[in-house]
Structure 1
Amino acid sequence: MSDKTPNPSEPDVEIDDDGEPAFEWMKPAAKAESRQAPSASPAATADSATPAKPAGAGSAPAKAAEPAKTAVAGKSAEPGKSAEPGKSAEPGKGPVKQPESRADRKAAEAAGAAPEPALFAEPLPTSALQVRPPEAEVERRNAERELAANAKPVAPRVFQVLLGVFYPVVLLVLAIRAVTSPLFLWVEYNRPGFPGDGYGFSTDDRMSYGSYAVDYLSNWAGPRYLGDLVHEDGTKLFKDSEVAHMADVKLVMLASFGAAALMVVIGIIAMLYLRKRSTGGIRRGLFAGSIATLVVILALGTLGVLGWQQFFTEFHRIFFASGTWTFAMDDTLIRLFPGQFWMDAGIAIAALVFLAALLTLILTWPTRRRRGLPPRNAPKDTGTDADESGAATKDRDAGAKA
């Protein structure tokens, strides 16, 4: 074909030339990363240029995008020619960056296939935060929580009860031990008004022989300790029946001393425990024990005043067999320890126990300071207390709901 050959006429088609190269390989900085089919129809090109919208976005069906400007209406695209990569298919949006590798394309496809998260998505009905138990169950849990919060340990209460029970017994045994001593004998034999011995014992004789009898009650000697004692004429000082009764008294005394010692050990352990685990536990235990001691002493004292002889007889019947504790007036035990001695001994024991219990009661009296309460004339900060109680109630309700 020569240069003079007329050019064939082309249809009058308006082509929008925006200055962009028609092919990808004509761009100086572009790289042909993605290879499309050699030929594509305008419809396919338009479909590929239109981005798909998520199905769950709640919008109307997407409109078909306009054909790419590189494709001429009525003509098929040239081989290797596709939609312009630098422009978006929808008006008003910026250029979309094309993926540069296969991994990037797969990531882009996965991101485009994932539905957009809803702005106000409700949690599943099976979520633990949404499942609320019945009101009866909530009330039961709240009641158990309150009971557990207000419950007190059992061990401090047990040790406090032990202190209250052991305290009267220990005081009584200590008072008896104080009476069964040579010092009390000396006071009794030398006090004015104490009856003398009508059978010839002087005060010195009473003090010597009585000291043997009292010492026998607290030592570990056998019955011969008293059975071998004799008068100046060589006769036995104590009869066999008297020695046997003193052996019975010694057995009761040693058993009571051993029980009191065990109670003292347990009481010390209880005090050490209460000192660490219960504030004011020792005070409360001794306070209860002092009250119990005063009640017991007042009751026994009333019985002794109303009928001393009956009280003395019933006391001996509890600890000794019948017929083993009655003696004649000229027997040594009666001459050393007449009825007035036992009455004075009972008064001394009751007085010592009463004074010790009363002093303990005063020292352990539950005053407002000891109970941790403010003084009666102290101003009350009702506002702060109300705020704290309200905040505590709100926190408890929030915890119950959670």
Structure 2
Amino acid sequence: MNDETPARAKNAAPQPEPFLDMSGDSDEPAFSWLTPAGKHKPGADQPGGEKPGADKPGADKPGGERIGWNEAAGGTKTAQPGSRADRKAAEAAVGSSGAGSSAAGAGATRTSAEETPSAGSSAAGPGSSAGSPVFKEPLPTSALHVRPPEEEVERRNAQRESAANAKPVAPRVMQVLLAIIYPVILLILAVRAVTSPLFLWVEYNRPGFPGDGYGFSTDDRMTYGSYAVDYLSNWAGPRYLGDLVHRGGDKLFKEGEVSHMADVKVVILSTFGAGALLLLLALIAILYLRRRSTGGVRRGLFAGSIITLALILGLGTLAALGWQQFFTEFHRIFFADGSWTFSLDDALIRLFPSQFWIDAGIAIAALVLLTSVVTLVLTWPTRRRRGIAQQEKPDAEQEKADQA
């Protein structure tokens, strides 16, 4: 068949019906050119939706004739006689041509797929043309790969960074609580150290301590003063001091002195109780910070030591500038006016003169100051304590490894 076939079919006269006797045909398939050639099926779709041989204007027909559609004549059938040998030769020629065109079409499809990977690497399906685009349904998760706008990305990054850098509220509260509690605990412990028989013995036996002009010896002072100090820390009633008598048989303390010592006992026991409660809270804060905040205990004690130093320096300055005024204002805070003033010959003044209270104040300030300084040194935020040395060491090792 060639391009001149339609022209001949137009001028040709109608042909008679072909001979349809198939008794003389062999078992060989009439369309043997459609059988597979190797691994490629000649009948498979080719680019453009065409089949090999489908566009040939003629097809084999039993009886040695070939029937073709004359497109120019509007679909008129034209019969072409031929012998069995001619038919076999034509089938062999058409089969080889179809296999070659199929291989060429497959190669062209592969080449097109390799050149345009975005359009898909598979050949066009049945009914589609070679030049038409192939519709590909998007994956269900394709929306997950869409990048949001830059403003949204920056906002999310800022939120993540802020969340990573933000510190929990509870550890910070515990650090502040520990910093506030620490100076108060130190002050109460120093007061407890001063209100002891040991401090009395040191005071009465130190050189330069003023003696009693009314007849108390050092041994008398130590005996009677120990009763007064013990009363402040025990649970005995006022009779503990009220029933004491000196050598002459008279009562050692007057009624006003016993009443004042009872008031002092209430203040001292309340202070010690508050100190015990604060110490318990401090231990809870320390245990919590040890588990939840690395370096939280150190930071809390460091801040507390700074507060303690500021407090002691401030109070010490006020006491040094005017001790009598400082002592008076201190008593006015805790006691009623007139309940804490006595004569020079009263037992409390003879046992605890003004120099005793000055020395007691100095001892309290020295103990608190020394403890806070030691705490400040032990909790000073050095590079090792802050963990910077441990962080820089892996960086230095990594840098050496990179240089090597």
Letter aligned with residue 21 of structure 1: E
Q: Percent identity?
A: 66
What residue ranges of structure 2 are gaps of 5+ in the alignment?
1-16, 32-41, 68-77, 81-90, 104-124
Residue 21 in 1 paired to residue 25 in 2? no
Q: Is the 8 A contact 2:228 2:241 kept in 1?
A: yes
Cα 1:140–1:165 change in 2 (3 A) is same
For residue 184 of structure 2, the aligned residue among 151, 169, 177 is 169
Match of 1:181 in 2: 196
Matched, 1:343 2:377: no
TM-score for both structures, normalised by structure 2: 0.68
Other-structure match for 1:108? none
Provide Cα deviations, 1:165-189, integer angstroms capped at 9, x if missing partner: 1111111111111110111111111
2-structure distance, mates of 1:255, 1:336: 24
In the other structure, the counterpart of 1:284 is 299
Distance 1:380 1:145, change over 3 A: closer
The structure with the largest helix share of the pair is 2
- Once the two structures are TM-superposed, the CA of residue 152 in structure 1 deviates from its matched residue by 1.2
Is contact 1:65–1:89 with CA below 8 Å preserved after alignment? Answer: no
In the alignment, which residue of structure 2 is the partner of 1:215? 230
1:65, distance to aligned residue in structure 2 (A): 3.7
The CA distance in 1 between the partners of 2:96 and 2:340, in whole Å, is 124
User: Of residues 266, 270, 275 in structure 1, which corresponds to 2:281?
Assistant: 266
**Residues 113 and 337 of structure 1, relative CA distance in 2, 3 Å threshold:** farther
Change (3 A) 1:231 1:383: closer
Query: 2:384 is matched with which residue: 345, 364, 369?
Result: 369
User: How far does residue 278 in structure 1 lie from its aligned partner after superposition?
Assistant: 1.7
2:341 maps to 326
SS in 1 for 2:306: helix
1:353 to 344, 359, 368: 368
Alpha-carbon shift at residue 250 of structure 1 (Å): 1.0
1:69 is matched with 60
Tell me the SS of whatever aligns to 1:312: helix
Give the aligned length: 323
Q: Is the 8 A contact 2:44 2:51 kept in 1?
A: no
**CA shift in 2, pair 1:148/1:380, >3 Å:** closer
SS at match of 1:69: strand
The answer to whether the 8 A contact 2:49-2:127 is kept is no
**What is the CA-CA distance between 1:235 and the residue it aligns to?**
2.3
Q: For residues 352 and 304 of structure 1, do their structure 2 counterparts lie closer, same or farther at Cα, with a shift above 3 Å needed?
A: same
> 2: CA distance between counterparts of 1:175 and 1:293?
13
* Structure 2 residue 309 is the aligned partner of structure 1 residue 302: no
The amino acid of 2:322's aligned partner reads G
* Deviation at residue 280 of structure 1 after TM alignment: 1.5
Q: State whether structure 2 residue 160 is matched by structure 1 residue 145.
A: yes
Relative to structure 1, the CA distance from residue 289 to residue 11 in structure 2 (aligned partners, 3 Å threshold; closer, same or farther) is closer
Q: Is the 8 A contact 1:160 1:270 kept in 2?
A: yes
Shift of 1:264: 1.2
Give the unaligned 5+ runs of structure 1.
1-9, 25-48, 77-83, 95-110, 388-402
Structure 1 residue 374 displacement after superposition: 3.2
Between stretches 127-136 and 259-268, larger displacement belongs to 127-136
**Matched residue SS, 2:385:** coil
Q: Tell me which residue corresponds to 2:106.
A: none
Does 129-138 or 180-189 show the bigger shift? 129-138
What letter is aligned with 1:288? A
**Contact residue 179 and residue 301 of structure 2 kept, 8 A:** yes
Contact 2:49 2:129 in 1 (8 A): no
Quote the offset at 1:155 in angstroms.
1.8
Provide the rounded CA distance (Å) in 1 between the counterparts of 2:313 and 2:324: 18
Q: For residues 118 and 270 of structure 1, do their structure 2 counterparts lie closer, same or farther at Cα, with a shift above 3 Å needed?
A: farther
Q: What residue is the counterpart of 2:111 in the other structure?
A: none
CA–CA distance in structure 2, aligned partners of residues 51 and 65 of structure 1? 14
Contact 1:238 1:332 in 2 (8 A): yes
* Whole-angstrom distance in 1 between the partners of 2:308 and 2:129: 84
**Deviations, residues 275-310 of structure 1 (Å, cap 9, x unaligned):** 222222111111111111111111111111111001
Residue 240 of structure 1: how far off its partner (Å): 1.6
What is the CA–CA distance in structure 1 between the aligned matches of 2:394 and 2:154, rounded to whole Å?
A: 37
Question: Structure 1 residue 256 and structure 2 residue 256: aligned?
Answer: no
1:175–1:124 Cα change, 3 Å: same
- Contact kept? 1:22, 1:70, Cα under 8 Å: no
Q: Deviations over 1:117-153 (max 9, x none)?
A: 9779584899523655444433322211110011111
CA deviation vs aligned residue, 1:198-238 (integer Å, no higher than 9, x gap): 11111111111100100011111111111111233332211
Secondary structure in 2 matching 1:129: helix
What SS does the corresponding residue of 1:289 show, helix, strand or coil?
A: helix
Change (3 A) 1:257 1:181: same
Contact 2:43/2:51, CA 8 A, preserved across alignment: no
**Aligned counterparts of 2:25 and 2:238: Cα–Cα separation in 1:** 137
> Which AA in structure 2 matches 1:286?
L
**Distance in 2, Cα, partners of 1:115 & 1:11:** 36
Which residue pairs with 2:39 in the alignment?
A: none
Contact 2:305 2:373 in 1 (8 A): yes
Q: Which residues of 2 match residues 81-100 of structure 1 at below 5 A?
A: 90-92=98-100, 93=102
Q: Which amino acid aligns with 2:224?
A: Y
| TM-score normalised to structure 1 length | 0.69
CA–CA distance in 2 between the matches of 1:265 and 1:20?
109
